[in-house]
Structures are given as C-alpha cells and as structure tokens.
Chain A
Amino acid sequence: MDPLNALVALSNFVLIPAIAYGSQLALGALGVTLIYGILRFSNFAHGDSMAFGTMCTILVTWLLQGLGVSLHPFPTALLAIPFGIAATAALLLFTDRTVYRFYRAQKARPVIFVIVSIGVMFIYNGLTRVILGPDDQRFADGERFIISARTFKAMTGLDEGLALKTTQGITVVTAILVVAALFWFLNRTRTGKSMRAYSDNEDLALLSGIDPERVVRVTWILVAALITVAGVLYGLDKTYKPFTYFQLLLPIFAAAIVGGLGNPVGAIAGGFVIAFSEVGFVYAWKKVLGYLLPEALAPDGLVQLLATDYKFAVSFMILVVVLLFRPTGLFRGKSV
C-alpha cells in the first residue's frame, strides 16, 4: 500500500495528459459548437482548418526562429499564433464568401452544407499538404519541462516521478484564458449577445435588426482563433501531422455532441469527458494498482482495458451511449 506514489503515478500518466488533451479538445469542440449554433451544420472541414491554422503558425515560427526572435523559456510558436489566427480567419472568411454563402441564400438543407464542407475539407487538406507536405513537423522550442521527473524525485524522495511539460502547462493556462475571453465576449458584448440571440431564434433576431452576415463573419473569426490555438497547443504538446488533425475530427465531434451541440459549456465538459475516458481506457493500470493493492493482489498483466489504437473506439462508444440515452447531450444542447 503506497497511496502517495499511486497518486503521483496517476497524475503523471493519466491526470496531467488528460487535462492537457481535454483542454485541446474543448477548444476544438467550442469551434464545432459555435458553427453548429450559428450556421446550423456539422463542419467536416474542422480538423483540416485546424491543420491549416497550425501550419501557418509553424511557418511563421520558423521565420521568427530564423530571425533570432525567441521567447525563452516559452515556445516561439506563442508569438506566431496571432499570425496563424489571421491567416486562418482570412481563409475561413474567404471560404464562407465563395462557398457557404451561396447555400445560405438558398436556405439549403443542413445535409447539403455537410456535403459542401466535405468538399472544403478536401481543399484544405490538399492545401496544407501541398504547402508543408504530409509529414510530421516539430516546432516546439524553449524549456521542455516545468518539472522534470528527476527533479521531482529529488525534491520529494518518492519512487515515482512527476513530469510536467511546459507545453502542458501552457495548454491549460492558454485554454483557460481563451475560454474566459470567449465567454466574456458571448455574454457581455453587444456582438456576442447578438450571436446568442441569432443562435436561439433566427427569425426573432432578424426582426430585431441583427445583421446575419455580420454574425456569421464574427463566428468564423472566433472559430479561426479557437481552432488555431487548439491546433498549435496540440502540435506543441504532441506533434503536427495533417492526418492526425483530420482524425481529431472524431473526438472533437464526440466532445461537442456529448456536451450538447450548440452549448459552449457542454463543449468544454464534453472535451474533458472524452479526454479522460480515452486516456483512462488505454492506460495500463498495472503500476497504479500495484501501489494501491496489497502485494498478494498485485496484478500480473498490464491491466490495460484496451490497446492504444482503440482510443477512437472509446470516444465513439461514449458518443453512441449519449446519443441513444440522452440525445441532447449532457448539457441541453439544441438537437433532434
């Protein structure tokens, strides 16, 4: 029995990674939920917009690094994020203008929008891969750890190390700041209020003189900011690869739907639900249980519920269970 070491091992392998991953998912899911609330369709191009924003940030990061600009001990990429956001916002607004607006004017069915977004997905996908190629790119620099496992062991004298990566710390802090700013915007500013009004009841909002095109533009800009930040944080924490970002679509959608589509609080909760379940199901619990249980009961196997590749299955199972038993999500979103 050694609860302290168990707690440290748990934090190191489950809690901290899941909190960081959950923050990234939450930011992505907020984007999905905003688009769903205002434009009323599920945007399949979301993962690839994220890849595009990250790619722009990476290019600017490399430029800054080449110029010798640095933010040590923080990653240079933080300086480049505003440029990434600007480029992504420009791309999304251009897409809206040339593609989506036509179907909005026609009052096309949501499923048509989804198919159109598949076309957009192909284009973004090709764009990122033509510009930066389909391979892994590393762009993290600066200090690697806030606390490394070795320092932690030396400090506390415990057997288990606790590593806190700089990127994980930055992820959580940035996510809190971004979410706070977003909620302030939605609840306190005139534009934010008009967005919520438009989302709640389109006709009533139009009658009270809200300009729908302006609401849509602001939405795309917010989405660009959210997903660029989410994408860069994910890339710093793990790695940037266009295909991985495309695959993030599934957990992000799962997070948004589990939380309740169209509901920002739900998106955040959903992000953490998905992240904790994914990490929890594919983590090998042998070590933690070994500390917690008496020696006689200590497990022989890895006590890994599912192989790592099945993490999609986890987000998917949660999605299905929620859809079957509580179709509006944990926090009443607008659906069905």
Chain B
Amino acid sequence: MIRTLGLFALVAALIVGTGMVQSWNSALLILNMGLVSAVMALGVNLQWGIAGLFNVGIMGFVALGGLAVVLTSVPPVAEAWAAGGLRVMASLLLGAATVAGAVWVWGRTQSGWLVAAVLAAGFVLYRLVRDPGVAAVEAVDPAATGFLGGLGLPVVLAWPVGGLLAAGAAWIIGKTALGLRSDYLAIATLGISEIVIAILKNEDWLARGVKNVIGLPRPVPYEIDLQNDPAFVERAAGFGLDPTTASTLYTKLGYSVMFTAVLVILLVLAQLALNSPWGRMMRAIRDNEVAARAMGKDVTFRHLQVFVLGSAICGVAGAMMTTLDGQLTPGTYQPLRYTFLIWVMVIVGGSGNNLGAVLGGFLIWFLWVQVEPMAVWVFGSLNDAAQAGLTDQSGALRQGLAGLTAHLAENAQQLRLLTMGVVLLVVLRFSPRGLLPER
C-alpha cells in the first residue's frame, strides 16, 4: 500500500515538476497522454496480466478506436453518399456474405476447393460492385473530402463506439487465432494490426487514407472562442494569467477531467472484475489451463471473452487519443509506439495488477516524452564541460567531440527507444513482477 502510494506520488511529482521547470502546458500534455496510456495499459493488463494472452496487435485496436471517431463525429458527406455510398455499402455486405458463405460451406462439406471457389467468386463479385462505387466516392472533391464521412454525432459518443468497433474486430480475430500457441498468437496479432493500418491507409473512401482527416470535432471549447469571451478573459486575469495561456490550459484541463473520469470508471470495473469469482477463474485458467479445463471451465470461451474485453478498452483509449489529437493520421501508427510501448508499460508497472498497469502507463509515458530533452541537455553539458577542460592545443579533439555530441543530440529522439529497451530488460531481470507486483 505504501509502495503504491509512494510510486503514484512520484508520478505526480514528476508531472508537477515538469510544470514548474518546463511549462504547465507540457505537463498537461504529458498528463493527458499518460491518462490515455494508462487506459491502454489496463486493457493489455486484462489480457496478459489476468488471462495470460499474448496480444501484440494493440496498435490495430487503437487505430480502430481512432477510426470510430471519424465514423461517429464527422458530418456525413451527402454528395459522396449520393455518388456511390450505397454501392460501397452493398459491396461490403457482399464481402461479409462471401466470408460467411465460405465458413458455412466449410462447415457443411469440409471441402477446401469448394471454399476456395466460393471465396474467389465472391471476391470477383465484390470487386465488380465495389470498384466503381469507391472511384465515385473518392472523386468527390478529393482535396477536402473524397470519403463518406461519419454520422455527425457528438464526439464523446465515439469513445464507446471505438470500444465496440475494437470488440467486434477482436471477436473475429479471437475466433480464428486464439487457439494458437502463445508465440503464434503474437505473430498473428502483429500481422492483424499491420493489416488494420494498411486498410486505414488505403481505403480512402473510409477515412481519407494517408490524406488524413483533420479538424475533428472537439468535446471542449476552442481556444480562440475562449479568448474572445470577455467573461473568460476576466476570470483568467483574476488568476493572473494572460488569455492565450489560460485558454490552452483550460481546454487541456477539460480533456484531463474527461479522461480521468473514463480511467477511474474502467479502473473500478477492472478491480471489481479482478476480485470477483470471474477474476479468480481467469487467473486459475492463466496459471493452469489443464486444471481449469478439468474443473469444467470453458477455457476457449473465457479466452475469447477477455480478449474482446481487453481489446475494447484499447479501442476506447484509441478513440480518446484521436479526439485529443483532433485528427486521424494513419501514417503515424507504428507498432513500436502503439503496441510494444504499451507492453513495456504493463510489464514495468506490474502485470496482473491493475494499479500497476496504470502506474506503468504514466511512468513510461513520462520517460518516453522526457528522455529526449534530458539527453540533449546531458550531451550539451558534457560537451561544454569537456570543451572547458581541454586546452587550446587539442583543436582536432575538440572538434571531433563537438561533432559527436552534436550527432548524438540530433538523434536524441531515438534514444528513447534505447531507454525503453533498457528499462524493460532491467525490470524483467531484477523485478520480474514489475514495480507493483500482483498480490
């Protein structure tokens, strides 16, 4: 308990310290993304820490959450719908029917050739219906829209929708891949996450692909509106702040409050689940699958259940993140950042312990952001110290040293990868159960 409180106090101190040393703006940025990371870590912890499922496809579910924001909150593009929307929808139904038909045929006949024939015929039909529709949709003002748009609903609704979307995808994936051994499941989920990103990048009619959807609706007021609001300016002056700073802080704090609410709700639910008979059963399955099966537990179904739940949480976090960014940029999703970094958070925080995962989320995110400025500062002061120490005769040495530190400072951003690796390995070696071990 003391350890938990102490470590969370440390995180709070780090963030407040950032606010005092750098700026409150950066501190709030770290806090907001820390909250999002903590939610993702909760989802992964549910799968790995509690159920022992090795899922490295988190990036895919996070991206699906991001897609949900576009599909929910962007106003529909009426012209595109008129041009080919129904055709595209029909082709999607056709594609789904093809897959369902193939599964049905397999169930009835077990004939691989028949299934292949169904799939091939369905694929040709699907392309015949889809291609003209997609071309028509993407031709509608491609510089500004060229996609179908969303439903035009309030953006906060996108968060549960993101969870549902990720849950649906996880159900399909789980049905096919969960029977695999741990490292096969890892490769399979890694592949699926790459495919999700490939779809987001390519299917321009869906979310504009690499042209990005920018200017997504926000759940908090715009800074410029606040600055033009006399009442707000007056209140800001009361705190001794100028309107610009006050408005950026205000909007960021708005996000912080909303994200905290989501995190607290999910954390409470996760804790209740962990300590319920369901949680004990999941841990029993994790620790000894054979014994759990012998006790009459439906291991396959439980794995699927927890896989869907954990992925849904990642989807919610992904939707929150895209809302915070205000744009969906499929080109920026990279497995190191969106899959493996979350894994580092869970392992370092303490797998199997929900509070540990949350702690890991904050701590690792802080490091991820702050390693670069710290490294630049360290290299700079090292260089200064060395330059001061060297005498004038060693000109070449001084130049070489300056060049080396400049090169390192230039690539300091990459040092965070190195740091994450070292942190993960050190924790695994010396505290394999994480900072806050499972009780």
Contact = CB atoms under 8 A, between A and B. Distances in A.
Nearest to B351: A115
B171 interface: no
Given A41-B183, A110-B182, A115-B347, A312 B177 contact: no
Contacts of A313: 194-195, 198
Interface residues of A, number: 51
Nearest to B195: A313
Contact of A102 (B177, B343, B344, B429): B429
A102 B432 CA distance: 12
A66 interface: no
A310 B198 contact: yes
Nearest to A114: B183
A126 B417 CA distance: 5
Contacts of B336: 122, 125, 246
Interface string B64-78: 000000000000000
Contacts of A122: 336, 340, 344, 417-418, 420-421, 424
A111 B56 CA distance: 12
Interface string B175-199: 0110011111011101110110010
Given A122-B340, A130-B408, A320-B176, A309 B201 contact: yes
Contacts of A323: 177, 180, 184, 188
Interface string A108-151: 00111011101111111111011101100000000000000000
Is chain B's interface secondary structure helix, strand, loop, or mixed overall? helix
A309 B198 contact: yes
B416 interface: yes
A187 interface: no
A156 interface: no
Interface residues of B, number: 45
B177 A127 contact: no
Nearest to A249: B190
A238 to B, nearest CB: 18
A270 to B, nearest CB: 13
Contacts of B123: 305
B425 interface: yes
B114 to A, nearest CB: 14
A114 B428 contact: no
A307 interface: yes
A250 B189 CA distance: 11
Contacts of B112: 325
A250 B190 contact: yes
Contacts of A316: 188, 191-192, 194-195
Tell which of B190, B343, B421 has the most Cβ of chain A within 10 Å.
B421
Interface in B44-64: 54
Nearest to A110: B183
B187 A123 contact: no
Given A312-B198, A315-B191, A316-B191, A114 B54 contact: yes
Interface in A151-166: none
Contacts of A243: 334
Interface in A34-82: 41-42, 44
Given A119-B344, A130-B414, 11 more contacts: A115-B424, A120-B425, A123-B418, A126-B419, A126-B420, A127-B418, A129-B411, A134-B414, A310-B198, A313-B194, A323-B180
Interface of B: 54, 112, 123, 131, 176-177, 180-184, 186-188, 190-192, 194-195, 198, 201-202, 334-336, 340, 343-344, 347, 408, 410-411, 414-422, 424-425, 428-429
Interface of A: 41-42, 44, 99, 102, 110-112, 114-116, 118-127, 129-131, 133-134, 243, 246-247, 249-250, 253-254, 257, 301, 305, 307, 309-310, 312-313, 315-316, 319-320, 323-325, 327, 335-336
